[in-house]
């Protein structure tokens, strides 16, 4: 995975997904060799030369201005998240071309974030790192998302769960989401977004390589080059202890977190899902919980 190829592949993929009619171009030739936009058509729409666009897609031009990138984004009908991703990829490619790149520092949760997490108590919450590693969770967050795992695992960098790895390679997590395909697309899109923000993170590259090797579903979704930002998502979960739960997951960037986010789960007031989460919080409050229910889940997940 090189940032030059990421930039070129993103542009080519988006170009291939647009038809002339989508951007107001006439379709005179019914025997087109490509179904998407040709390179010359995109160049015309963006107001750049075809030769320049060719160099950009081949990773040979690393000095695209913000104005050119915005023109390409507009021509490709990119949304705001995709536009930001395009700028991230181009900026990272420029830094690489100048020999300026620095690996991100190891991640940890600071004291203020841990206090916030603990204060949420019965509200499920998880702190995720730049690569979707679980850096910390509170007791209900652990019980909701990964009760079959050791609750202390996020404290050990060598054993930290990773949400992308869990979604694609962990049977318990796959069964947890009733709308697993939607969850899978969101996970892949967020990893794509992270590539533009943290192109020199070896952990991110290793994670993507592992998932490509072990999951055909991930590989297929990765090839689509879709990007997703962290915001609000709704999912129906089928929890083995409390049954169906319709949840709202809100992800918020932490101040000075360098890509860290806290994901907080809520439910509709007065709904069966709210009652289910309340029951889960009550169950996790008992000392016997981890020695009985979670051990059972661990055995069943093997």
Q: Report the pLDDT value the prediction gives residue 291, as an integer from 0 to 100.
A: 45
Q: Report the pLDDT value the prediction gives residue 98, as an integer from 0 to 100.
A: 54
Cα 59 from Cα 93, distance rounded (Å): 8
Scanning the chain, the segments in alpha helix (DSSP H) are: 3-17, 39-46, 50-57, 66-75, 80-97, 111-120, 139-146, 163-169, 171-176, 180-197, 202-214, 216-222, 272-284, 288-301
Tokens 């025997």 belong to residue: 31
Averages of pLDDT over each 10 residues, the chain, 302 residues? 71 83 65 75 86 83 81 87 85 61 75 91 92 94 93 92 96 94 94 86 90 95 87 92 95 84 95 94 71 49 48
Three-state SS at 243: strand
> What is residue 291's DSSP assignment?
H
Record the tokens describing residue 271, joined without a space: 């709904």
Record the tokens describing residue 218, joined without a space: 């991930």
All structural domains of the chain = 3-97 (1.10.260.40), 111-301 (3.30.450.180)
Three-state SS at 3: helix
Q: Nearest CA to 3 among 92, 131, 66, 72?
A: 92
Q: Report the pLDDT value the prediction gives residue 96, as an integer from 0 to 100.
A: 56
What's this model's pTM, rounded to 2 decimal places?
0.80
Q: Is 120 exposed, middle or buried (0-12, 13-18, 19+ CB in 10 A)?
A: middle
Q: Report the pLDDT value the prediction gives residue 163, as an integer from 0 to 100.
A: 95
Helices 180-197, 202-214: inter-axial angle, 10-degree rounding: 150
Query: CB of 95 within 8 A of CB of 101?
Result: yes
Q: Is the dihedral of CA 193, 196, 197, 203 positive or negative?
A: positive
Q: Is 83 exposed, middle or buried (0-12, 13-18, 19+ CB in 10 A)?
A: middle
- Residue 83 zone, left/alpha/beta (φ > 0; ψ -120 to 50; rest): alpha
Q: Report the pLDDT value the prediction gives residue 104, as an integer from 0 to 100.
A: 65
Q: Report the pLDDT value the prediction gives residue 298, as an integer from 0 to 100.
A: 46
């Amino acid at each position: 995975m090189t940032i030059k190829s990421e930039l070129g592949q993103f542009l080519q993929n988006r170009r291939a997904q647009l038809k002339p009619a989508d951007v107001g171009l006439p379709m005179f030739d019914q025997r087109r060799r490509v179904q998407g936009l040709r390179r010359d058509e995109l160049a015309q729409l963006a107001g750049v030369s075809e030769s320049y666009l060719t160099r950009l897609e081949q990773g040979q031009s690393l000095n695209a201005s913000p104005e050119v990138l915005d023109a390409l984004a507009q021509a490709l009908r990119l949304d705001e998240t995709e536009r930001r991703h395009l700028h991230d990829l181009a900026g990272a490619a420029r830094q690489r071309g100048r020999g300026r790149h620095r690996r991100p520092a190891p991640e940890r949760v600071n004291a203020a974030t841990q206090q916030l997490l603990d204060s949420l108590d019965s509200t499920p919450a998880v702190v995720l790192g730049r690569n979707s590693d679980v850096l910390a969770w509170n007791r209900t967050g652990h019980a909701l998302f990964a009760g079959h795992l050791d609750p202390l695992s996020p404290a050990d960098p060598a054993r930290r769960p990773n949400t992308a790895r869990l979604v694609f390679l962990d049977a318990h997590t796959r069964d947890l989401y009733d709308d697993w395909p939607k969850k899978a697309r969101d996970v892949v899109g967020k990893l794509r977004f992270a590539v533009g923000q943290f192109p020199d993170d070896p952990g991110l590259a290793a994670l993507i390589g592992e998932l490509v090797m072990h999951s055909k579903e991930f590989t297929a979704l990765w090839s689509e080059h879709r990007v997703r930002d962290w915001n609000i998502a709704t999912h129906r979960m089928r929890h083995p202890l409390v049954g169906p739960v319709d949840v709202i997951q809100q992800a918020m960037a932490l101040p000075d977190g360098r890509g860290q986010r806290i994901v907080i789960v809520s439910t509709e007031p007065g709904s069966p899902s709210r009652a289910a989460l309340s029951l889960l919080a009550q169950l996790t409050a008992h000392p016997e919980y981890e020695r009985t229910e979670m051990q059972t889940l661990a055995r069943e997940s093997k």
